[in-house]
Amino acid sequence: MKQLKKDLQAVLKSLKEATEKTKKLMKRVETLEKPQTLKKPRAKTPSKARAPKKSSDSDAVLAIIKRFKKGVDGATLRKKTGFEGRKIRDIVYRLKKRGKIKTVGNGVYLKA
- Average pLDDT of the chain to the nearest whole number: 86
Burial 72-96 (b: 16+ CB within 10 A, else e): beeebbeebbebeeeebeebbeebe
**What are the tens digits of pLDDT across the range 78-89?**
999 999 999 999
DSSP 30-63: HHHSPPPPPPPPPPPPPGGGSPPPPPPHHHHHHH
Residue 92 contacts residue 106 (beta carbons within 8 Å) = no
Give the Cα separation of 68 and 38 in Å (integer). Answer: 54
pTM equals: 0.51
Q: What is the pLDDT of residues 9-56, one digit of tens each?
A: 999 999 999 999 999 988 888 887 766 666 777 777 666 655 555 568
